[in-house]
């Protein structure tokens, strides 16, 4: 049974097949209809329509789409909604490239780790696969900035909190009156239960984002995947004291990854998969991260370690 969040907020649970985990988007009804993220590409508009049907809504009835960041599993329904109606699509300025220019997005964020993971990889084929995964390119209606205020209905106003790290344009949508924030994947804890590292593009920015949230009064942190903490079971929503513990765990993981990457600075010329497993071995055993061979989706861990090793100029 899905836990209750708020009388105006409705969870939209979608099964994400490649990763074998649940993705959760959110519907906010307040005179107008807002979706926080739109889930992975489902192959047809009918599948997304089926998620909205229990709330007596069709695709054309969505007025606003607020993306927490640009990854495919969060923006996959944007195009279907745009084709069916005319919702205002919003995403932070730094992540607009994920929607508007797939080739440049792949070349900037994914080609380097793809090549480092497998030097024999055909980048042209990988780029095309990425474009297929992302679906149609789509013009962003509004590029968001930190602290933007978004009135999305009769009474609800959300504040944009820029939380770079997972991606450069990751954000949270903060409902100050209710003390809750929709974070998407901005804060990842110890990631999903399979033992992958959390996906972090910029570790230093990520740590600052976690510290920023620790200073905001929060009673509820609303994510999209069932992320775990050190002593917290996997869950999509963190409430009360869980919020502080989850933020502390998220910061701890980022610090330990940073330290492990620094210790391996002289091994950067070795094959990336080899260095990844050495880094995993340096992390505390109670974090329960697994080597690449045991992972269903090794690219998550590869991405984080690659960026930890090569994006920080101090290394």
pLDDT per residue, tens digit, the chain (315 aa), is 566 799 999 999 887 666 666 789 999 999 999 999 998 887 778 888 999 999 999 999 999 999 999 999 999 999 999 999 999 999 999 999 999 999 999 999 999 999 999 888 899 999 999 998 898 999 999 999 999 999 999 999 999 999 999 999 999 999 999 999 999 999 999 998 899 999 999 999 999 999 999 999 999 999 999 999 999 999 999 999 999 999 999 999 999 999 999 999 999 999 999 999 999 999 999 999 999 999 988 999 999 999 999 875 443
Q: Is the dihedral of CA 79, 80, 86, 89 positive or negative?
A: negative
* Total tally of structural domains belonging to the chain: 1
Report the pLDDT value the prediction gives residue 79, as an integer from 0 to 100. 94
The CA distance from 299 to 233, in Å, is: 23
**110: in domain:** no
Assess if residue 298 is contained within a domain: yes
Q: Does the residue 295 lie in any domain?
A: yes
- 57 is a domain residue: no
The secondary element (H helix, E strand) that includes residue 226 is: strand 220-227
Q: Euclidean distance between the first and final Cα of the chain, in Å?
A: 47
DSSP three-state, residue 243: helix
What does the pLDDT read at residue 23?
A: 86
Domain that holds residue 251: 187-315
46 within some domain: no
**Half-sphere exposure of 236 toward its Cβ, with a 13 Å CA cutoff?**
20
* Residue at 65 is within a domain: no
- With tokens 């054309």, the residue in question is 60
- Alpha-carbon distance of 140 to 278, in angstroms, equals 41
Is residue 260, in this structure, part of any structural domain at all? yes
307 assigned to some structural domain: yes
Strand 171-175 and strand 180-184: pairing?
antiparallel
pLDDT of residue 314: 43
Q: How confident is the model at residue 2, as a pLDDT? A: 62
């Amino acid at each position: 049974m899905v836990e209750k969040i708020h009388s105006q907020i409705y969870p939209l649970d979608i099964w994400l097949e490649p990763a074998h985990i649940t993705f959760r988007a959110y519907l906010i009804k307040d005179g107008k209809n807002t979706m926080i993220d739109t889930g992975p590409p489902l192959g047809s508009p009918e599948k997304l329509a089926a998620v909205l049907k229990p709330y007596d809504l069709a695709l054309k009835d969505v007025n606003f789409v607020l993306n927490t960041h640009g990854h495919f599993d969060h923006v996959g329904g944007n195009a279907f909604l745009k084709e069916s109606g005319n919702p205002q699509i919003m995403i932070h300025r730094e992540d607009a490239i994920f929607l508007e220019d797939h080739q440049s997005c792949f070349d900037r964020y994914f080609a380097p780790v793809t090549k480092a993971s497998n030097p024999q990889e055909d980048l042209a084929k990988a780029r095309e696969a990425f474009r297929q995964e992302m679906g149609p390119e789509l013009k962003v209606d509004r590029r968001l900035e930190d602290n933007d205020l978004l009135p999305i209905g009769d009474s609800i106003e959300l504040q944009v909190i820029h939380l770079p790290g997972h991606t450069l344009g990751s954000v949270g949508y903060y409902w100050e009156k209710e003390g809750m924030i929709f974070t998407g994947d901005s804060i990842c804890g110890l990631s999903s239960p399979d033992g992958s590292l959390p996906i972090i593009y910029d570790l230093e920015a990520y740590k600052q984002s976690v510290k920023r949230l620790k200073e905001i009064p929060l009673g509820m942190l609303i994510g999209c995947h069932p992320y775990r903490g050190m002593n917290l079971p996997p869950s999509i929503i963190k409430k009360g004291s869980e919020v502080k513990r989850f933020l502390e765990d998220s910061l701890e993981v980022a610090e330990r990854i940073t330290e492990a990457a620094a210790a391996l600075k002289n091994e950067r010329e070795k094959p990336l998969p080899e260095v990844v497993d050495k880094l995993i071995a340096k992390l505390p055993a109670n974090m329960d991260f697994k080597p690449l061979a045991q992972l269903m989706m090794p690219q998550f861990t590869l991405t984080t370690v690659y960026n930890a090793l090569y994006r920080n100029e101090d290394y």
